[in-house]
Amino acid sequence: MQTVDLYLQDLKARGFHLQEDAIGFIYFGKHYTNAPDEVAIAAIELTLKAQIGFEGSFYVSLLETLIANKINSRQAALDFVKDRQLLSL
């Protein structure tokens, strides 16, 4: 399993540079919701795809929704969003 730190490093290596405030939102949301890394990474990925960039409040809201619905893996997060048509991906 990949950590949020490694995922962010991977994004940077691929040329996707997040601003400091975005990184702050990522860690705030992860700690605020007590989300496991895998779910936080899924929320980052879904946010980037849905928003064509990073929107901190969207990410935190999505992460809260995933945790409230007891989502605990990337695949479960993708299925949840798709099944409920929460995002048009």
Check residue 64 and give its pLDDT.
Answer: 96
Give 35's contacts (C-beta < 8 A, 6+ positions apart).
Answer: 29, 43, 63, 66, 67
Check residue 51 and give its pLDDT.
Answer: 83
For 4, the 3-state DSSP assignment is helix
Nearest to 39 by CA among 68, 16, 12: 68
Angstrom distance (rounded) from CA 15 to CA 80? 29
Check residue 86 and give its pLDDT.
Answer: 80
Nearest to 41 by CA among 6, 15, 13: 6
Check residue 4 and give its pLDDT.
Answer: 97
Classify residue 6 by its DSSP letter. Answer: H
Q: What is the pLDDT of residues 40-71, one digit of tens each?
A: 999 999 999 888 888 999 999 999 999 999 99
